[in-house]
Structure 1
């Protein structure tokens, strides 16, 4: 059986489930259920804004964008600058597990605000 090498490897069900499981281990906002969405070349994480720092009404806000770069085979992590409504590059990771560990820890509260 021949596979189509031109089709993107992300998003896929295996990594989708890995990310869902990993998000249960996050340090911040453990009392809300994040929303994981598939996007072109990756995944977008949203969450209800219980702190009301971003949305005074407590609505759903973007937390992170995880994109896989097929050429470099690296993962790119982006955070949302809610003041201007744009995604900003945070850093690259060689492995999805490293990205998820970093995102779940979020020491500087750049993602889970």
Structure 2
């Protein structure tokens, strides 16, 4: 279940960053990998590193990118964004993960 959420989170990062265009998204993902050690395949293991990387690369623009990622993550997990509206990026991801995994453990056939 952990790997499943991490794959969903990675898809949400990709989808959320796509709003800035595919070339810009790839540049950001490259900088995240090269300068912050945030690599595809392990993004979901430490959301705080994603936050640090986005802040380092985008500055204040990171908040917009994080909102887009959270929106995509809520969409992919079937949660309403209002669930995490007043939470910071890292806290919101942890809450979405907790709710998602709790929901999946109660309904393993989903």
TM-score, scaled to structure 2 = 0.27
| Bigger fraction of residues in helix | 2
Indicate the structure (1 or 2) with the bigger Cα radius of gyration: 1
TM-score, scaled to structure 1 = 0.27
